[in-house]
Structure 1
Amino acid sequence: MTALISHTSFDSLDAHAQSVFWAKVLDFHEDPEDPNQPDDDECMISSADGSQRLLFINVPDRKQVKNRVHLDLQPAEVGGRDEELARLLALGATEVADRRLPDGTGWVVLADPEGNEFCILRSEAERSAV
């Protein structure tokens, strides 16, 4: 017997706004038969194939400490870490810590609009070029 991950849940002050931000970051979508609304207490988004789902749930309190679980993101086929960093900052992420090293390795720690940390890594092409 094995347990499968149904989805990953995030506590949010504004579930809808968080679902919109992360849908843009990950190119995820909402269920067209059950679209997310601004006043929804829960908002789900999914990858194109439906294999990955994120659920944002309204809670009354703000994030107070560093998250114990976070997402590590890798740029898709086009572009690299620094281009993806610029895109994520333009979407509303904020930089928390720059862990890039002079040799090109490393990552950048970011926070989403509600302060949840996540990291942007190098792309597969950048790692293979070394």
Structure 2
Amino acid sequence: MTSFISHTTVDCADAYPLSRWWQAVLDYVDDPDDPNEPGHEECMIFSRDGKHRLLFVEVPDAKQVKNRIHFDLRPVEGSRDAELSRLIELGATTVADRRNPDGTGWVVLADPEGNEFCILRSNAEVAAGPA
């Protein structure tokens, strides 16, 4: 007997705007039978293939320390640096730049509520090797 991950839950101060932000980052969608709306204390979004779900749940506690679990994102198309620019335009903030002179590495970012995540090189960039 084993278990599977039903969904990933993100504690937050305001579920609706944070779910909308992550929808833009990941190109996820609402459940058409249960759409998210302003004021909802729980907002679930789905990958377009339905294989992954993120649930944003409002909690009274403020984020205080580094996440113990975080997302590592890869651009679906384009480069890490182009995706980094897009995420910054969406409102992400840079926490740490771990890019190396040879083009390898990653950048640690934070979403609008301070949850850390990383942006890695695309699969095409990895296959091409160091710059």
Class of the TM-score when normalised by the shorter of the 2 chains: over 0.9
TM-score by length of 2: 0.97
Ranges in structure 1 where 5+ consecutive residues have no aligned partner: none
- Report the counterpart of residue 112 of structure 1 in structure 2: 111
* 1:97 counterpart SS class: strand
Matched, 1:16 2:16: yes
Write out the 4+ residue segments of structure 1 that deviate beyond 3 Å after TM superposition: none
2:48 & 2:119 partners in 1: Cα distance?
A: 21
2:38 & 2:72 partners in 1: Cα distance?
A: 27
Percent identity reads 66
What are the superposed Cα offsets for residues 77-124 of structure 1, whole Å, 9 maximum, x if unpaired? x21100000000111100000000000000000000000000000000
1:92 & 1:33 partners in 2: Cα distance?
A: 29
1:51 & 1:126 partners in 2: Cα distance?
A: 25
**1:63 offset after TM fit, Å?**
0.4
- Report the counterpart of residue 97 of structure 2 in structure 1: 98
* 2:65 counterpart SS class: coil
**1:49 offset after TM fit, Å?**
1.0
* 2:20 counterpart SS class: helix
* Equivalent residue pairs, number: 129
Matched to 1:27, the amino acid is: D
CA RMSD of aligned residues (A): 0.5
* 1:63 counterpart SS class: coil
Matched to 1:47, the amino acid is: S
- Report the counterpart of residue 27 of structure 1 in structure 2: 27
TM-score by length of 1: 0.98
- Report the counterpart of residue 6 of structure 1 in structure 2: 6
- Report the counterpart of residue 56 of structure 2 in structure 1: 56
Ranges in structure 2 where 5+ consecutive residues have no aligned partner: none
What are the superposed Cα offsets for residues 24-49 of structure 1, whole Å, 9 maximum, x if unpaired? 00000011111101110100000011
